[in-house]
Amino acid sequence: MPTFEQKLLAKRFAVTLECNPPKGADLAPALARLERFSGRIDAVNVTDSPMAKARMSAIAASAVIERGTGIETIFNFTCRDRNLIALHADLLGAHALGLRNVLCVTGDPTSLGDWKEARGVFEFNSGGLLKLACALNAGTDHAGKPLLAGGTSLFPGAVCYPSAPSLEAEIRETVRKATAGARFFLTQPVFDAAEARAFGAAARAAGVTAPILYGVMPLKSVAFAAYLDEHVPGIRIPAPILDRLARVPEGEAQAEGVRIASALALELRAFADGLHLMPTGPLESALGILDALDRQA
Protein backbone atom coordinates (compact mmCIF):
# COMPACT_ATOMS: atom_id res chain seq x y z
CA MET A 1 0.00 0.00 0.00
CA PRO A 2 1.41 3.42 -0.89
CA THR A 3 1.77 5.95 1.90
CA PHE A 4 -0.24 9.17 1.93
CA GLU A 5 2.82 11.04 0.67
CA GLN A 6 3.51 8.52 -2.09
CA LYS A 7 -0.09 8.64 -3.25
CA LEU A 8 -0.15 12.42 -3.48
CA LEU A 9 3.21 12.62 -5.21
CA ALA A 10 1.96 10.06 -7.74
CA LYS A 11 -1.03 12.38 -8.36
CA ARG A 12 -3.53 9.77 -7.21
CA PHE A 13 -6.84 10.86 -5.69
CA ALA A 14 -6.71 10.75 -1.88
CA VAL A 15 -9.28 11.03 0.91
CA THR A 16 -8.63 12.17 4.47
CA LEU A 17 -10.91 12.29 7.50
CA GLU A 18 -10.81 14.92 10.25
CA CYS A 19 -10.95 13.71 13.85
CA ASN A 20 -10.82 15.66 17.11
CA PRO A 21 -8.93 13.95 19.97
CA PRO A 22 -11.03 13.53 23.11
CA LYS A 23 -11.26 16.00 25.99
CA GLY A 24 -9.93 13.21 28.16
CA ALA A 25 -7.35 10.44 28.26
CA ASP A 26 -9.32 7.57 26.67
CA LEU A 27 -8.98 7.05 22.92
CA ALA A 28 -10.68 3.66 22.83
CA PRO A 29 -14.10 4.94 21.61
CA ALA A 30 -12.44 6.91 18.81
CA LEU A 31 -10.36 3.90 17.76
CA ALA A 32 -13.48 1.76 17.50
CA ARG A 33 -15.11 4.35 15.24
CA LEU A 34 -12.02 4.85 13.10
CA GLU A 35 -11.66 1.12 12.46
CA ARG A 36 -14.75 1.37 10.26
CA PHE A 37 -12.72 3.60 7.91
CA SER A 38 -9.79 1.21 7.53
CA GLY A 39 -9.07 0.68 3.84
CA ARG A 40 -11.44 3.47 2.84
CA ILE A 41 -9.39 6.59 3.61
CA ASP A 42 -5.75 7.48 3.21
CA ALA A 43 -5.16 9.40 6.44
CA VAL A 44 -6.85 10.72 9.58
CA ASN A 45 -6.31 14.44 10.15
CA VAL A 46 -5.92 14.81 13.93
CA THR A 47 -6.65 18.32 15.17
CA ASP A 48 -4.57 20.24 17.72
CA SER A 49 -6.94 21.69 20.35
CA PRO A 50 -9.16 23.48 17.78
CA MET A 51 -10.88 26.69 18.85
CA ALA A 52 -8.22 26.82 21.61
CA LYS A 53 -10.12 24.25 23.67
CA ALA A 54 -7.73 21.80 25.29
CA ARG A 55 -7.86 18.21 24.07
CA MET A 56 -5.48 15.27 24.09
CA SER A 57 -2.18 16.00 22.36
CA ALA A 58 -2.53 15.62 18.59
CA ILE A 59 0.90 13.97 18.44
CA ALA A 60 0.08 11.43 21.16
CA ALA A 61 -3.37 10.74 19.68
CA SER A 62 -1.88 10.28 16.20
CA ALA A 63 0.66 7.75 17.46
CA VAL A 64 -2.06 5.76 19.24
CA ILE A 65 -4.37 5.89 16.20
CA GLU A 66 -1.67 4.65 13.83
CA ARG A 67 -0.73 1.79 16.14
CA GLY A 68 -4.33 0.92 17.00
CA THR A 69 -5.90 1.07 13.52
CA GLY A 70 -3.07 0.94 10.99
CA ILE A 71 -4.42 4.12 9.37
CA GLU A 72 -1.92 6.88 8.67
CA THR A 73 -2.43 10.20 10.40
CA ILE A 74 -1.77 13.87 9.72
CA PHE A 75 -1.04 15.50 13.05
CA ASN A 76 -2.02 19.16 13.24
CA PHE A 77 0.69 21.33 14.78
CA THR A 78 0.04 24.88 15.94
CA CYS A 79 2.29 27.80 16.81
CA ARG A 80 -0.19 28.98 19.44
CA ASP A 81 0.94 26.74 22.29
CA ARG A 82 4.69 26.34 21.75
CA ASN A 83 7.77 28.51 21.72
CA LEU A 84 10.64 27.85 19.33
CA ILE A 85 12.23 25.28 21.64
CA ALA A 86 9.01 23.30 21.99
CA LEU A 87 8.35 23.44 18.24
CA HIS A 88 11.74 21.81 17.63
CA ALA A 89 11.28 19.28 20.41
CA ASP A 90 7.79 18.17 19.40
CA LEU A 91 8.57 17.83 15.70
CA LEU A 92 11.63 15.71 16.50
CA GLY A 93 9.58 13.66 18.95
CA ALA A 94 6.79 13.12 16.43
CA HIS A 95 9.33 11.84 13.93
CA ALA A 96 10.78 9.49 16.54
CA LEU A 97 7.25 8.10 17.10
CA GLY A 98 7.01 7.27 13.42
CA LEU A 99 4.70 10.13 12.44
CA ARG A 100 5.43 11.73 9.10
CA ASN A 101 2.50 13.88 7.93
CA VAL A 102 2.16 17.25 9.67
CA LEU A 103 -0.33 20.05 9.02
CA CYS A 104 1.37 23.33 9.94
CA VAL A 105 -1.12 25.90 11.25
CA THR A 106 -0.83 29.14 13.17
CA GLY A 107 -3.63 28.16 15.57
CA ASP A 108 -6.90 29.66 16.77
CA PRO A 109 -6.53 32.54 19.27
CA THR A 110 -6.88 31.67 22.94
CA SER A 111 -9.77 34.15 23.23
CA LEU A 112 -11.98 31.53 21.55
CA GLY A 113 -11.23 28.89 24.18
CA ASP A 114 -12.54 27.96 27.59
CA TRP A 115 -9.66 29.57 29.47
CA LYS A 116 -9.48 33.26 28.63
CA GLU A 117 -6.43 33.69 30.88
CA ALA A 118 -4.36 31.36 28.68
CA ARG A 119 -1.70 33.12 26.61
CA GLY A 120 -0.83 32.30 23.05
CA VAL A 121 2.83 32.06 22.08
CA PHE A 122 2.80 32.67 18.31
CA GLU A 123 6.57 33.03 17.91
CA PHE A 124 5.99 31.66 14.41
CA ASN A 125 3.09 31.65 11.99
CA SER A 126 2.31 28.76 9.66
CA GLY A 127 4.92 29.91 7.14
CA GLY A 128 7.67 29.94 9.75
CA LEU A 129 6.58 26.52 10.96
CA LEU A 130 6.73 25.12 7.42
CA LYS A 131 10.26 26.47 7.05
CA LEU A 132 11.24 24.86 10.35
CA ALA A 133 9.90 21.46 9.23
CA CYS A 134 11.86 21.77 6.00
CA ALA A 135 15.02 22.71 7.91
CA LEU A 136 14.68 19.64 10.13
CA ASN A 137 14.23 17.51 7.00
CA ALA A 138 17.46 19.00 5.66
CA GLY A 139 19.23 18.05 8.90
CA THR A 140 19.54 21.43 10.57
CA ASP A 141 17.79 23.30 13.35
CA HIS A 142 16.34 26.81 13.16
CA ALA A 143 19.79 28.32 13.62
CA GLY A 144 21.28 26.20 10.84
CA LYS A 145 23.21 23.93 13.21
CA PRO A 146 23.30 20.26 12.18
CA LEU A 147 21.10 17.70 13.91
CA LEU A 148 22.65 14.56 15.30
CA ALA A 149 22.10 11.47 13.13
CA GLY A 150 20.74 13.41 10.16
CA GLY A 151 17.41 14.97 9.28
CA THR A 152 13.76 14.07 9.65
CA SER A 153 11.36 12.79 6.98
CA LEU A 154 8.36 14.98 7.67
CA PHE A 155 5.73 15.64 4.97
CA PRO A 156 4.48 19.15 5.77
CA GLY A 157 1.15 20.57 4.63
CA ALA A 158 -0.89 23.70 5.20
CA VAL A 159 -4.45 25.03 5.10
CA CYS A 160 -6.06 27.26 2.48
CA TYR A 161 -9.46 28.97 2.20
CA PRO A 162 -11.19 28.79 -1.20
CA SER A 163 -14.16 30.80 0.17
CA ALA A 164 -12.03 33.64 1.57
CA PRO A 165 -13.53 37.11 0.99
CA SER A 166 -10.65 38.05 -1.33
CA LEU A 167 -9.56 35.39 -3.80
CA GLU A 168 -6.46 37.36 -4.75
CA ALA A 169 -5.33 37.75 -1.15
CA GLU A 170 -5.90 34.05 -0.42
CA ILE A 171 -3.96 33.01 -3.51
CA ARG A 172 -1.05 35.18 -2.33
CA GLU A 173 -1.23 33.48 1.07
CA THR A 174 -1.35 30.03 -0.52
CA VAL A 175 1.67 30.87 -2.67
CA ARG A 176 3.48 32.08 0.48
CA LYS A 177 2.83 28.76 2.20
CA ALA A 178 3.85 26.75 -0.85
CA THR A 179 7.08 28.74 -1.09
CA ALA A 180 7.71 28.12 2.62
CA GLY A 181 7.53 24.38 2.03
CA ALA A 182 3.91 23.15 2.01
CA ARG A 183 3.82 19.86 0.09
CA PHE A 184 0.03 19.53 0.22
CA PHE A 185 -3.01 21.60 1.18
CA LEU A 186 -6.20 20.80 3.05
CA THR A 187 -8.92 23.40 2.57
CA GLN A 188 -11.56 24.74 4.88
CA PRO A 189 -14.97 23.31 3.92
CA VAL A 190 -16.29 24.31 0.52
CA PHE A 191 -19.95 24.23 -0.47
CA ASP A 192 -19.75 25.36 -4.08
CA ALA A 193 -17.88 23.22 -6.61
CA ALA A 194 -17.55 26.09 -9.10
CA GLU A 195 -15.93 28.28 -6.44
CA ALA A 196 -13.53 25.47 -5.53
CA ARG A 197 -12.62 24.90 -9.17
CA ALA A 198 -11.94 28.63 -9.65
CA PHE A 199 -9.70 28.67 -6.59
CA GLY A 200 -7.74 25.66 -7.78
CA ALA A 201 -7.27 27.14 -11.24
CA ALA A 202 -6.07 30.44 -9.76
CA ALA A 203 -3.63 28.63 -7.45
CA ARG A 204 -2.17 26.62 -10.34
CA ALA A 205 -1.89 29.77 -12.46
CA ALA A 206 0.06 31.38 -9.60
CA GLY A 207 2.53 28.50 -9.57
CA VAL A 208 1.18 26.32 -6.74
CA THR A 209 1.80 22.70 -7.72
CA ALA A 210 1.13 20.99 -4.36
CA PRO A 211 -1.98 18.77 -4.25
CA ILE A 212 -5.13 20.42 -2.90
CA LEU A 213 -7.64 18.31 -0.95
CA TYR A 214 -10.97 20.12 -0.68
CA GLY A 215 -12.89 20.11 2.59
CA VAL A 216 -16.33 18.46 2.50
CA MET A 217 -18.47 19.00 5.58
CA PRO A 218 -21.82 17.23 6.06
CA LEU A 219 -23.93 19.86 7.82
CA LYS A 220 -25.95 18.58 10.78
CA SER A 221 -28.67 21.26 10.96
CA VAL A 222 -29.81 24.50 9.38
CA ALA A 223 -29.00 26.38 12.59
CA PHE A 224 -25.44 25.07 12.55
CA ALA A 225 -25.08 25.90 8.87
CA ALA A 226 -26.34 29.45 9.42
CA TYR A 227 -23.91 29.93 12.29
CA LEU A 228 -20.96 28.85 10.12
CA ASP A 229 -22.08 31.11 7.31
CA GLU A 230 -22.46 34.15 9.53
CA HIS A 231 -19.66 33.79 12.06
CA VAL A 232 -16.78 31.64 10.78
CA PRO A 233 -14.28 33.42 8.50
CA GLY A 234 -13.47 31.56 5.30
CA ILE A 235 -16.75 29.63 5.18
CA ARG A 236 -19.57 30.65 2.88
CA ILE A 237 -22.68 28.49 2.48
CA PRO A 238 -24.90 29.16 -0.56
CA ALA A 239 -28.51 30.13 0.11
CA PRO A 240 -29.92 27.09 -1.77
CA ILE A 241 -28.18 24.76 0.72
CA LEU A 242 -29.56 26.70 3.70
CA ASP A 243 -33.04 26.61 2.13
CA ARG A 244 -32.78 22.87 1.47
CA LEU A 245 -31.83 22.14 5.07
CA ALA A 246 -34.62 24.41 6.33
CA ARG A 247 -37.24 22.45 4.38
CA VAL A 248 -36.56 19.06 5.97
CA PRO A 249 -37.86 18.03 9.40
CA GLU A 250 -35.36 18.60 12.20
CA GLY A 251 -34.77 14.89 12.72
CA GLU A 252 -33.83 14.41 9.08
CA ALA A 253 -31.44 17.35 8.73
CA GLN A 254 -28.27 15.35 9.39
CA ALA A 255 -29.14 12.76 6.75
CA GLU A 256 -29.95 15.56 4.31
CA GLY A 257 -26.60 17.15 5.10
CA VAL A 258 -24.85 13.90 4.16
CA ARG A 259 -26.76 13.78 0.86
CA ILE A 260 -25.77 17.37 0.06
CA ALA A 261 -22.14 16.67 0.94
CA SER A 262 -22.12 13.45 -1.11
CA ALA A 263 -23.37 15.26 -4.21
CA LEU A 264 -20.71 17.94 -3.75
CA ALA A 265 -17.99 15.31 -3.28
CA LEU A 266 -18.89 13.76 -6.63
CA GLU A 267 -18.65 17.18 -8.31
CA LEU A 268 -15.29 17.90 -6.69
CA ARG A 269 -13.82 14.56 -7.66
CA ALA A 270 -13.94 15.62 -11.31
CA PHE A 271 -11.05 18.04 -10.79
CA ALA A 272 -9.73 17.79 -7.21
CA ASP A 273 -6.52 16.09 -6.08
CA GLY A 274 -8.49 14.69 -3.17
CA LEU A 275 -11.12 15.31 -0.51
CA HIS A 276 -10.86 16.14 3.17
CA LEU A 277 -13.98 14.89 4.99
CA MET A 278 -14.93 17.03 8.00
CA PRO A 279 -17.92 15.50 9.84
CA THR A 280 -19.64 17.85 12.29
CA GLY A 281 -21.67 15.10 13.97
CA PRO A 282 -20.58 11.48 14.47
CA LEU A 283 -17.55 10.37 12.48
CA GLU A 284 -19.80 7.78 10.88
CA SER A 285 -21.61 10.53 8.96
CA ALA A 286 -18.62 10.52 6.60
CA LEU A 287 -19.33 6.90 5.63
CA GLY A 288 -22.28 8.01 3.50
CA ILE A 289 -19.98 10.24 1.45
CA LEU A 290 -17.51 7.39 0.98
CA ASP A 291 -20.38 5.13 -0.11
CA ALA A 292 -21.42 7.68 -2.74
CA LEU A 293 -17.85 7.91 -4.03
CA ASP A 294 -17.60 4.12 -4.21
CA ARG A 295 -20.86 3.81 -6.15
CA GLN A 296 -19.53 6.09 -8.88
CA ALA A 297 -15.90 4.95 -8.81
What tens digit of pLDDT does each residue of 34-61 get?
999 999 999 999 999 888 889 999 999 9
Q: Is residue 283 within 8 Å of residue 34, measured between CB atoms?
A: yes
111-133 pLDDT, tens digit per residue, is: 888 888 888 889 989 999 999 99
Q: Is residue 66 within 8 Å of residue 27, measured between CB atoms?
A: no
Which sequence spans correspond to the domains of the chain? 4-295
Query: Above 80 in pLDDT, residue 297?
Result: no
Fold adopted by 4-295: TIM Barrel (3.20.20)
pLDDT band at 258 (very low <50, low <70, confident <90, very high): very high
Q: Is residue 114 within 8 Å of residue 53, measured between CB atoms?
A: yes
Query: Above 90 in pLDDT, residue 272?
Result: yes
Q: Which of 46-60, 66-80, 91-105 has the lowest mean pLDDT?
A: 46-60
227-251 pLDDT, tens digit per residue, is: 989 988 788 999 999 999 999 998 8
Alpha-carbon torsion 119, 124, 125, 130, what sign? negative
Q: Is residue 31 within 8 Å of residue 69, measured between CB atoms?
A: yes
160-172 pLDDT, tens digit per residue, is: 999 999 999 999 9
List the one residue out of 203, 164, 169 whose CA is nearest residue 184. 203
Higher pLDDT, 209 or 112: 209
Reduce the secondary structure of 151-205 to three states and give it as a string. Answer: CCCCEEEEEECCCCCCHHHHHHHHHHHHHHCCCEEEEEECCCHHHHHHHHHHHHH
Long-range contacts from 244-247, C-beta under 8 angstroms, 24+ separation: 245/219, 245/221, 246/222
pLDDT band at 96 (very low <50, low <70, confident <90, very high): very high
pLDDT above 90 as % of the chain? 86
Cα–Cα distances (Å) from 213 to 66, 221, 243, 250, 270, in that order, read 21, 24, 27, 31, 12
Looking at residue 112, its pLDDT comes to: 81
Looking at residue 149, its pLDDT comes to: 86
Query: Above 90 in pLDDT, residue 296?
Result: no
pLDDT above 70 as % of the chain? 100
* Mean of all residue pLDDT scores within the chain: 95
- The secondary element (H helix, E strand) that includes residue 254 is helix 253-269
Looking at residue 110, its pLDDT comes to: 83
